[in-house]
Amino acid sequence: MNCTAKQRRRAAWTLLVGFLLAILVSLTFCAEEVDHDCTGADCAICAQLKLCKNILHAGKDGSGPFIRTLAPHFVLAALLSLCSPLLLIKTPIRLKVKLSD
């Protein structure tokens, strides 16, 4: 399947918006349920909050420095891929200008 640059860009933006929306919803859930009425050892909300805490503290296994050093590179690569149409050099061939004398 051949995708055009416009389709890839649209897919990238859709994934980005979906990811940011999922993060926002998760943070909203955690913020609203911090002071919930706990039902005891089998509390589903406590289990979800514990899962979120474990995910947030997953970098303490030694992968934190690795992630901190690579994260700026990934962000830069993502920004460059989104801004790549702006960085293209405008040549007659790219602009599809017919050069006839």
- What is the pTM (predicted TM-score) of this model? 0.46
- Taking the C-alpha atoms of residue 78 and residue 13, their distance in angstroms, rounded to an integer, is 11
- Taking the C-alpha atoms of residue 57 and residue 88, their distance in angstroms, rounded to an integer, is 41
Mean pLDDT of the region 42-48:
85
Q: Which pLDDT tens digit goes with each residue over 12-30? A: 889 888 888 877 787 788 8
**What pLDDT, on a 0 to 100 scale, did the predictor assign at position 9?**
84
| Structural contact between residues 46 and 38, judged by C-beta atoms closer than 8 angstroms | yes
Q: Which pLDDT tens digit goes with each residue over 51-60? A: 777 766 665 6
Return the C-alpha torsion angle 82, 85, 86, 90, nearest 10: 160
- Taking the C-alpha atoms of residue 24 and residue 33, their distance in angstroms, rounded to an integer, is 14
Reported in sequence order, the residue ranges of the chain that DSSP labels E, i.e. its strands, are none
